[in-house]
Amino acid sequence: MTAERGAELDPQVTQFLQLYESMDVPELHELSPPEAREVQEQLSQADPDIDLPTIEDRTIDGPDGEIPVRLYDPRDDEETTPLIVFFHGGGFVVGSLDTHDGPARKLAAETGYPVLSVDYRLAPEHPFPAGLKDCYAALEYASGAGEELNIDPGQIVLAGDSAGANLAAGVSLLSRDRDGPAIAAQILVYPVAGDAAETEAFEENGEGYFLTAETMEWFHDKYVDDEIDQGNIYASPRLAADLSELPPATVVTAGFDPLRDDGAAYAQRLADAGNEVHHHNFEGMIHGFFNMIADPVDIDAAHDAYDAVVADLDTMLDG
């Protein structure tokens, strides 16, 4: 599957980039990880004005201690539904339950399914595979929480954006290889899937479109601490020789994103391996647009992306 860059940026994205440049925000790779996290938290302070009956902070057991999670439950009745387990983006170094509160709320509201957002451990304090282990632990928890959460453990969806999409893909591979819990579908929004630096999109979109090549390289160096893990398929799912028998997938890419071709190539490899794949490329969009759903940055195409994800999810779960 291929994905192209539009002839020009979407006008709403242009407005955002002008606003972003006027704020004179330092590049994340110029900061220490704690400083970068603080900047990311400040940039993500937007309220999508989505009220849900239940939003509850909890903890679950992890491989090395408790993992904070947040449950978003849109249901008013006792209906048993699928569950979405959501992994936030942020290059494995930044991001939190709070930075991705908006996407989690919107996924819950639009699908009608509860969303369990996972605050996995971050690099460089906790490099690969710590975050992956936490995310796998969240899948294991969900698979055993049918009665507690009033969900169907056979209808668990893994979802994430960017680094979170990488983790969703990695957990899907890991669960297949371990004969672990069933996964009904995976939603991969501009995933980190392989070596994006090898792609045309990395070259043409590596500067000037919010996420830069230098920041991506900084994220990667912080996350993959040990050289031996450079080729680990659970860190780079697109490198896996066998991608068969994986859950149906929706892959969302953006035309002006350095990760565009990486995500499109992973979608193609999944399809070539016989998996059900839905790919949506938003030609005029940039990396991060899935989060741009509330003032001061509310982009129409972001809402279109949620519509596409929800429609695909209906198809994948019915299938």
Q: Per residue, what are the HEC states of 37-104?
A: HHHHHHHCCCCCCCCCCEEEEEEEEECCEEEEEEEEECCCCCCCEEEEEEECCCCCCCCCCCCCHHHH
**Tell me, what CATH number does 26's domain have?**
3.40.50.1820
Mind listing the pLDDT tens digit for each residue in 277-297? 999 999 999 999 999 999 999
Within-domain flag for 287: yes
Domain membership of residue 169 as a residue range: 11-318
What are the distances in angstroms from CA 2 to CA 24, 63, 122, 264, 308?
34, 38, 32, 6, 18
Number of domains in the chain: 1
pTM, entire model: 0.98
Within-domain flag for 54: yes
Within-domain flag for 1: no
Within-domain flag for 297: yes
The catalytic residue positions are 162, 257, 287
Mind listing the pLDDT tens digit for each residue in 67-107? 999 999 999 988 999 999 999 999 999 999 999 999 999 99
pLDDT band at 119 (very low <50, low <70, confident <90, very high): very high
Average pLDDT over residues 201-218: 97
Q: How far apart are CA 69 and CA 74, in angstroms?
A: 16
Within-domain flag for 3: no
Mind listing the pLDDT tens digit for each residue in 230-286? 999 999 999 999 999 999 999 999 999 999 999 999 999 999 999 999 999 999 999
Cα 86 to its chain centre, rounded Å, is 7
Within-domain flag for 64: yes
Q: Identify any residues that bridge with 84 across adjacent strands, giving them in sequence order.
A: 115, 157
Within-domain flag for 4: no
What are the distances in angstroms from CA 215 to CA 76, 132, 205, 231, 296?
42, 21, 12, 20, 24
Does residue 319 carry a pLDDT above 80?
Answer: no
Within-domain flag for 263: yes
